[in-house]
Amino acid sequence: MEIYGVKSLNGDIRVPGDKSISHRSAIISSISGKKVIIENYLFSQDCINTIEILRNLGVKIENIDNNLMIHGVKTANMIEPRGVLDVGNSGTAIRLIAGVLASTDFMSILSGDVSINNRPMKRIIDPLRSMGASIYGRDNNKKAPLVIFGNKKLQGKRFEFSLSSAQLKSCILLAAINAEGVTEIIQPETSRDHTERMLQYFGADIEFDGKYTRLDPSKGLEARNIYVPGDISSAAFIIVATLILKNSHTLIRDVGVNPTRNHFLEILKKMGANIEIKNIRTISNEPVADIETFSSDLTSVEIEKQWIPNIIDEIPVLAVAASRANGKTIIEGAGELRNKESDRISALSTQLKIIGVDIREQKDGFEITGNSNSDIIGGTVDSMGDHRIAMSLAILSLLSKNSTTILDSDCIDTSFPGFKYILKKLMA
């Protein structure tokens, strides 16, 4: 991708469906045992891989006018796949589907690309084993590929974790929905609750408050149609671009504003961002709203560690905002960034520096000295195959007086197909 600086962004748009909710909508619909129609599903590469895996497990899935029709089969009626189930680059897919496969009655193998097969899997292997699953991984059961021998008699358990992770929590819940007895999960900090909300929407007997979740599987699931709201993590890139470019104004419609996902908006407002949340309503048990953003003068703020799990996917683009906010921004307690599609701490620190950001890498974060008047010099940067790094570099490059070339930018389609088209539309 080659980007030249622009004067402003203006327009009224929608962003693609939420990636986290899309994954969950396909998976939970598939185990519901009934037909479900999913509107606004995200047809990114990650979410397409999830569909193909479910098809390989015997689930009939149709694409009708860009909506999905899923004929749920329940976990007990899934079939043994003939080959390896490939999640591509999706950590969400491999961890959530592992939870489903743990309660089948056959063997399956989950694998992904080089990045996925080097990400930590012990965090799901150990709890699934404690519920009665037989699951094995590479590197002494620490990494994928995962070999799973399903057990239809999993046992519900009480878990207390030192790490807050929505993927870990969701993996256990998707195993627990077919287990015997109640499962409880306690985490130190609030993490995303899309799985809990969707299970509740499907009639499950579930309680949750962000840190504590309790699931009684005896009630089962009732199929319901789903609307997937726009992805707030994708909207974040357009919001920050609007803030840092002069004379800019954008309206993004129908965005999911789940309270476990939207804290980055509060951080931006504390930095001085002029952002308005309008037309709030609830669709398919998820809060949805329109987000209006105006050019703003930003100043640095302290980002508390307790909010890191809530903003983990937005930290790359928050780093872009921090680079234009006068003062010093310190982000720490974000070591999980080193286990994403790339080592995002290293990638942000090296690549943002190339195009003119004063950034220093730390063990579990980084320090940015922002200056709204500093020059973005452009040049050649590398996304490291990471969609959020690529888009963050693209947003900051909109300020450059020279061209910026972003290597390996095709990875953007992992989460935000149409990103380039929307930027061009807003530039016009």
Could you say which DSSP state residue 376 is in? P
SS3 379: strand
Give the Cα separation of 42 and 413 in Å (integer).
10
Give the Cα separation of 161 and 354 in Å (integer).
38
Q: What angle do CA 26, 24, 51 make, to 5 degrees?
A: 35
Other Cβ atoms within 10 Å of 137 Cβ, number:
21
Give the Cα separation of 255 and 88 in Å (integer).
26
User: CA 245: distance to chain centroid?
Assistant: 26
Which of 242, 318, 319, 301 lies closest to 274, judged by CA?
A: 242
The CA distances from residue 251 to 22, 239, 291, 294, 423, in Å, are: 23, 9, 6, 9, 13
Asked if 313 is an active-site residue, the reply is: yes
Q: Is the backbone peptide bond immediately before 316 cis, with ω within 30 degrees of 0? A: no
Give the Cα separation of 98 and 215 in Å (integer).
18
Other Cβ atoms within 10 Å of 215 Cβ, number:
26
Could you say which DSSP state residue 111 is in? E
**To which residue do tokens 């994928």 refer?**
144
Other Cβ atoms within 10 Å of 402 Cβ, number:
14
Give the Cα separation of 191 and 164 in Å (integer).
6
Question: Tokens at residue 41, please?
Answer: 């599903």
The catalytically annotated residue of 313, 343, 364, 408 is: 313
8 A C-beta contact, residue 136 and residue 111: no
Strand boundaries in 257-316, DSSP class E = 274-283, 286-294
* Amino acid at site 97: I
Bridge partners, 143 (sequence order): 138
Could you say which DSSP state residue 17 is in? B
SS3 1: coil
**Catalytic residue numbers, as ranges:** 313
